[in-house]
Structure formats: C-alpha cells, structure tokens
Structure 1
Amino acid sequence: MATIDLGKGMPAADLHDDKPVAGSFGSEDVILVRHRGKVCAFAGKCTHQGAPLETGLVIDGTVRCPWHHARFSLSDGEAVAAPAFAPLDTFTVVEKDGVVTITGKEEQTRATPSTRSIGKVVIVGGGAAGHACADMLARSGLGGDVTILSDDADAPYDRTAVSKDYLAGDAERDDTALPEPGLGRGPAPNVRTGVAVALIDVEGHAVVTADQDRVPYDVLILATGATPVTPDTVKAADNVFVLRTLADADAVKAAAKDAKRAIVLGASFIGLEAAASLTQAGLSVTVIARDSVPLAKVAGPEVGKFVQALHEEKGVTFHLDCELAQYDGHTAMLDDGTAIEGDLLVVGVGVEPRIDLAKAAGLKIAEKDAGGGVSVDAQLRTSADGIYAIGDIASYADPRLGHPIRVEHWVHAQRQGQWLARSLLGAVTGGYGDTPFFWTGQYDTSLHYVGHVAKPDDRRIEGDVAAGDFAVFLKEDGKEQAVMTCGNHDEIALKKEAAWDAA
C-alpha cells in the first residue's frame, strides 16, 4: 500500500469522489474514500484474504474487493456480501482547512438488532450457502432460533482452500475455518456437525436424523451441496481420492507424503487446482482428461491452452482426448494402451447435486437441462410450503438469462444464503438475481469469471491471452452474459458484476 501518513493529513483536493486513497495510520494500512460529500476511513485490507482495497472499486455505496469481490458498506464498514464476513475497522476523520486527517481508530461496538422471530429455522448443510444464511440471520439477532445440521465432521470451513492453499501446504488446517455465524453478536446458531438427515416429514414440519432425532422447523433450508462423481473404472481401486471436504484433503495430503507421482483424472477447475497444489507439494503430476483442451467448454480453447501452458511450465504432463480404462492403485491404463505410473489418483471430473433428501420428500426436481437440482422460485422456495433450497442444489430462474440455471460456485452459494436470510427478514423484496461469480487459482495466476453461459462458442477476446492479461466476453443468444478475466483486465469483472446486478 501507499505510505501517506494520514495521521499527519493529506490535501483534501487530492481525494476525489469514490476513488480510494491508500495510506497508513500508525502501523495500520487504511483507505480514505470520499462518498457523497463525506470522507470515510477504513482498514485497508479485505477481511477475507487481505486484498488491498485501494485497488478495488467504489460502487453503490460499497467498496468492492479486487480479488474475490467481497463488499463492504461505506456507512459503517460492515461486510455486506461474501466471501468476507468480518467488518472493516473504521477510523475517525477530520477535514479542515483543506486537509484530511485521521485522528483515531473507532471502537467496534455493533449492537445486536432486535428482530421479530421467524420461528425455528433448520438449515441442512454447513457449507457455503448454509453457513452464510445462518450468519446473516444471527447478525440480525436470530441466531438462537437457528440450527445447522451438517453431516460433515468439521465445523463450517472455507471449501475453496481444500483444493488450493490447504492441499498445497500454504495454509494450516485451522486457517480454513469460517467465522462463527453471527460474529458473536447475540446468540450463536446451534451448529451440529456429524449429523446426517435421513428424511423430511413435510406434513409434520420436522426433519429426522439418521439417529432418529426429530428436529422440528418453521422454516427449513436445504443447503446439501454436491458430491464428487467417481467413475466406475476407479471405484474399487486403492489409492483413489476425491477432493470435496477437508477430510478428503487430509487423506490426499497423507497419501502424498510418501508419494512421488500423482495422477489427476479430469481437467476441471478442481482437478487443475489439485494438480497445481500437488505439484507445489513436490509431486510429479499427470493429468488425464477426455477434453482436447482443458476448460475449453467453459471459456474457450484460448484460455484452456493458456492454463495448460501454466501447468506444463511447472512440469505437469497432460494426456488429453483419452479415457482411463483401468487403475490398479499404482498404474493407470488409458484406452490407447498408454501406461502411467501413479502412487495416488485424485478424481476431478465434476460433481452432482445432493438431492436424494429432497427427492424422497416429494419436492419438485428440475429437468436435466435446468441443472437437475431442486426447483425453486424467485424467492428460492421449493414446491413444499416452508422449505427453501440454496447453493449447489438450487435450480432457479436467472432473471438476465430468462431460464433456470444451477450454479456450483462457492461465492454464489454464499450470496444465495445471505439473500435468503434477508428475504426471510423482510429486508429485500423481489426475487433473487445476484450475478454468479467464481475465481480459480492456478499457481500464481488467478482467473475471475462473472455471469453464466451454457457454452463459450460465441466469444470475443480482448488483450493477450498467452501473456495472462485478457478478458473473454461470452454471449448467449446474442447477448453478453459472462466474462472471464485475468491480469490487468480483472477490473472489468468487478464492473460487469455490478452492472449486471443492477440491471
């Protein structure tokens, strides 16, 4: 960040509307923002992963993180959109005689609001959507009415770290933990881990756990997420791993300790992130995939070849346009007869929504061309009264596209959870319409994707893909609906997200 000592002040004329200025106060990084005639001062780093907020954008009364698009209110520093939850510290500012000066750090006293109860809320699933929904309800003072039932043995954690920082060894296990829902403001939700829900008693407004514990609800929120697909060719083999949960990453890390060679089956984002992490952990990695070019079905072959080159520069070998015929725990045989040695194999061929619970309860399930998840309306309501679905399982009508989609992105799931909480509280009206967003880290390169298209056939490229500085604009039915960015073009993704959200 810049080194302006804002305790000594800066010329007020150098502070322009909605243009963050970086500086310091004592030992802390801060930003100054002039917005609607008022000068505000906040901690200068995003509370999610420490991104420098002076390179973010000020839009609609919020400052938006340049890395992962978290949003903070300019009125009080509150984190109003995931993936950040903790607020920004705020500072006292004085503007006098043409000089803007920070005079001190403000006390963080955020009172728990008094909110009318909406009854007992049961959330099935402690992933991105479930945690974010519980957090927003708890921040509004209703944490004591909320129960999360999660079949994961671990308390809610950041699943994006599973295939990235934690697997690569750049983060400790405890670093993956998500903040306690509600941030300590009032009663905390009851988070019950290791609890599987066996069925929903729709008429009786209760769920029944695998241990036959009956949990009543007034509002039931299904946030059951997705499960990795494991091909039949490797289901019975030893040394085969999926990568979805923290426990999955533990198992891969343990196997990798004594391994020299790893095989990744699938060139999906998760598969390629796993390949990068295992390479960084010191293993020789081979990727096997049906695709001719990695990620070509998402952003086109130009981006796919760029990402493939990033991996090849690090020593990763690709076997593309081929099928895995067999893996015996040590050697993979391809359909063309090629044999590849591997001490472990990580499957990254995609996931399927976990809809068995919803299906057994008689909830409406979306058709395959609508994503195959649980069908919900604009308010994220399922076909059963009092039951909602969010996150990876929700098939909802996207207002910009004009047809249902199901999205498997971490931040999108979080924001669905936050929106549903606000909707239940009466804080928002209308239907859900946040623009999907995700990012992927491939070594030191980050790619941002905003929007949604079924396929990237109609695309326009701006910049230099091979140099890692580009934007790919993607159309569906002749209308621009998504963009993938990298390098100096990343600001485009922030601006597009804001514009499409406002449309």
Structure 2
Amino acid sequence: MDSTDLLIIGSGPGAVSAAESYRDNGGGGRVLLVTTDPDLPYFRPPLSKDYLQGESSADDVALHPQDWYTERNLEVLTGTSVTELDTTAKTAKLSTGETVDFATAIIATGARPAPIPVPGGEHALLLRSFTDATSLRDAAAKADSAVVIGAGFIGCEAAASLAARGVNTTLVAPDDVPQGSRLGPDAGVRIRAMLDGSGVRYVGGAGVTDIEPGTVTLDDGVRIDTDLILAATGIEQNSGLAESAGLDLDEGRIVVDEHMHTSADSVLAAGDVASAHNPTAGRHIATEHWQDAVDQGEVAGATAAGVEKSWDAVPGFWTTIGDHTLKYAAWGDGFDTAHLVERGGGFPDGGFTVWYQRDGVTVGGLTYNNDDDYDLAEKLVAGRKSPPA
C-alpha cells in the first residue's frame, strides 16, 4: 500500500494553494495531489477571456511550470480519480487500482458545469476545464455565429470573447437584463451595455426549450440557427466522493468550519465544493470564486501543517466583459436593496458603484472603474456598516 502524509484531491486553486501553504507553514511530509484532469494545474479565469480569444497559449495559462512542483517536492498524479475514501481507515482507493493511506486528506474537487436540462442539451459545448476551453476555441475558429445560453459571468465573458474573435454572438438568458435577479436591474443595465459595446446581441426574458445541432429553439418558438452553441448555465459541486465517505453536506457542499475541518477528523475541504463557516459573517458561506478558493486552500494547508489559521475574509472577485472590468465584494446570499451611484460622469467613461444592503447593513458592493469603493465595500461588509450616504 502506498502512503502519504497529505493527500490532496483536486488540482484547482484550492488544491494548489493548500499544497503551497502546507510547505510554507512547515509541513515536511509527502504531498500527493490526485486529479482527474489530464493537465497540470492551470488558471481558469483566462479560459473564457484571453485563451478563448486566441491571445494566449497553454503555457500562458499554466498555474506553475513542472519545476515549481519539483522544487517543493509536490507530486501531481493527473488523469486519476479517487474512487473511494475511508475516513476511519484513512485510505483512498484510486482509479488505477492502487490504495493510498494518508495522515490528512484535503478535498478540493471543485465543481463541474451543469448541462442544460433540455432535449438535445448534449449538443451544447461547456466551459470549465482547459480541455473544454480548447474545444470551444477550436470550434470558434471555424464558426461564423454562436449562441451562448446563460448570462452569468462566465457566459458574459465568453460571449464577449467570441464576439471579439469576429463571431456573430447571441446571448440568451431568462432575465430581462443580465443578472438582474442576482445583482439588481441597475447593474443589469450596465452589464447589458458592456455586452452591447462588445458586439454581443442580448436576448433577455427567454428560455431554451430544445437544442439541435446548429439550432437553438426558444420558449416563444423562435429558432436561432448557429454554428456554435455554448451552455453556461451554472455549476454542480463535485461532492459525490465526500457524500459516499459519509461527510456532512449542505445542499451538495461539504460543511467545514473556519479552519476547513470537515465532520471527519482526518479530512479537510476547500474551494467551490465547500460551505465554510466565516467568523466575520457569523455563518456558513458558499463561494464559487478563484480568490476565495485560494484563500481557503491557504487555510487548509496551514491546518494540515498544524498551524491555526481561519477563513474570515469577505468573498470577492473580478470579471472582465470585453474591455470592462467589474469588481464585486459580497457575502453573496441576498440583499434587500441595491443603490447605484455614478462616479466620474458614469458609465462608460466614468465609473459606478452599486451598494447592496440588508436590514440597513452593507452586504455587498459592485464597482466599475472605482477601486476605492471596492476597498471600502470590503471594509463595510466586514464591519456590518451602512453604505455611504
């Protein structure tokens, strides 16, 4: 039986951050990362932007070169899955047939794209992995037109990138304006303007009822002929391994404390697959952002090395739609009111901030061309303060 001090399951930002943090915090044992991905760890944010546009290569999106792992004595086993995790015996069975025993395991399996649940949904491309992005980029090189289904940030980024390549791109979503339900109508109007300025045609208030090769049918009967179809309709957590291992879950996410401990003493979890207690928020928070996965991975790695560290930051991320970058800091679990403030003449030449409140307290801030307000938003959210007058 093979043996390792730290077994990390996954190769996303949470996994790699955990490995690095373990070493930085004095962890000297063997570290083994096991991932189903055939590639070494890579940055996901560029996949829907620079890489899709054809402006960067595989080397550009690599998280680290091979030497980085070698120098830190980190072993990465690609193209391999953990099929069974025994938290009592502290063993993991691999798809290769091997069994690995471990002192500590960190589950950082992330999430996968949620296929669109309509007839013919299998004909739509998805975007999550480097393999997905390469398939999409290759298809875009031969396409004159594209339909992107879903106006989340990945959908908006990908639609703008396809349009930048000269592909006639239509974005279809149920909200009248992009993310109107999530971010409020004022923010949605600005995001719609960003898409318009990027050359994307937005079709709001529409659902997709059927997909055929080369055709998307909407719920009003309209058929859109297209060369390329991308479904960006959300994600599902890769928590099946944790569930079969008997770990506590909440709505498909592994429940962890602020130190990333799961319900099993020997197992930690971090990133998109986790619902982590945040002492600043005073409750469990689910995140789906790169930086939060990095932060939680740092905590998990430190915990595995025996160093006490807590995840107490306000979740936040950046998104770039065409030439426009939005920054968002928020707890992400709802608001009562959303108030937009124009800055420097307003969009597109100036900036804006949307302040989100619940019970009179700031719970989020969305900013454009306004880094001071982004920094302020993090402080107001963390301090449970009211937004500026």
Query: TM-score, normalised to structure 2's length?
Result: 0.91
Deviates more, 1:163-172 or 1:120-129: 163-172
Distance across 2 between alignment mates of 1:183 and 1:256: 33
In structure 1, which of residues 203, 223, 228 is the aligned counterpart of residue 113 of structure 2?
228
Gaps of 5+ in 2: 385-389
Give the secondary-structure state (helix, strand or coil) at the position aligned to 1:151. Answer: coil
Q: Is 1:207–2:92 an aligned residue pair? A: yes
Q: Which residue matches 1:124?
A: 9
The one-letter amino acid of 1:247's match is: T
Rg larger for: 1
Q: Give the alignment of 1:292-441 within 5 angstroms.
A: 292-366=176-250, 368=251, 372-429=252-309, 431-441=310-320
In the TM superposition, residue 120 of structure 1 has moved relative to its aligned partner by 0.3
The one-letter amino acid of 2:86's match is: D
Instruction: Give the direction of change, closer, same or farther, for the CA distance of 1:422–1:237 in structure 2 (3 Å limit).
Output: closer
Distance across 1 between alignment mates of 2:79 and 2:132: 15
Q: Which residue matches 2:149?
A: 265
Deviations 1:55-112 (A, max 9, x none): xxxxxxxxxxxxxxxxxxxxxxxxxxxxxxxxxxxxxxxxxxxxxxxxxxxxxxxxxx
Q: Is 1:283–2:185 an aligned residue pair? A: no
Distance across 2 between alignment mates of 1:234 and 1:348: 16
The one-letter amino acid of 1:444's match is: D
Q: Is 1:188–2:73 an aligned residue pair? A: yes
Instruction: Give the direction of change, closer, same or farther, for the CA distance of 1:433–1:140 in structure 2 (3 Å limit).
Output: closer
Give the secondary-structure state (helix, strand or coil) at the position aligned to 1:250. Answer: helix
Deviations 1:314-337 (A, max 9, x none): 321122111111111111111101
Q: Give the conservation status (yes or no) of the 8 Å contact 1:143–1:188.
A: no
Give the secondary-structure state (helix, strand or coil) at the position aligned to 1:232. Answer: coil
Deviations 1:358-385 (A, max 9, x none): 001111111x3xxx31111222111111
Instruction: Give the direction of change, closer, same or farther, for the CA distance of 1:502–1:305 in structure 2 (3 Å limit).
Output: closer
Q: Give the conservation status (yes or no) of the 8 Å contact 1:324–1:333.
A: yes
Distance across 1 between alignment mates of 2:284 and 2:380: 21
Q: Is 1:475–2:344 an aligned residue pair? A: no
Distance across 2 between alignment mates of 1:365 and 1:396: 11
Q: Is 1:254–2:133 an aligned residue pair? A: no
Instruction: Give the direction of change, closer, same or farther, for the CA distance of 1:440–1:137 in structure 2 (3 Å limit).
Output: same
The one-letter amino acid of 2:92's match is: V
Give the secondary-structure state (helix, strand or coil) at the position aligned to 2:39. Answer: coil
Deviates more, 1:419-428 or 1:213-222: 419-428
Q: Give the conservation status (yes or no) of the 8 Å contact 1:453–1:482.
A: yes
Distance across 2 between alignment mates of 1:184 and 1:231: 37
Distance across 2 between alignment mates of 1:407 and 1:347: 21
In the TM superposition, residue 451 of structure 1 has moved relative to its aligned partner by 2.3
Deviates more, 1:248-257 or 1:173-182: 173-182
Q: Which residue matches 2:367?
A: 485
Is the helix fraction higher in 1 or 2? Answer: 2
Deviates more, 1:269-278 or 1:460-469: 460-469
Gaps of 5+ in 1: 1-118
Instruction: Give the direction of change, closer, same or farther, for the CA distance of 1:496–1:182 in structure 2 (3 Å limit).
Output: farther
Deviates more, 1:180-189 or 1:439-448: 180-189
Distance across 2 between alignment mates of 1:317 and 1:186: 48
Query: TM-score, normalised to structure 1's length?
Result: 0.71
Distance across 2 between alignment mates of 1:250 and 1:471: 35
Aligned-residue CA RMSD in angstroms? 2.2
Instruction: Give the direction of change, closer, same or farther, for the CA distance of 1:348–1:220 in structure 2 (3 Å limit).
Output: same
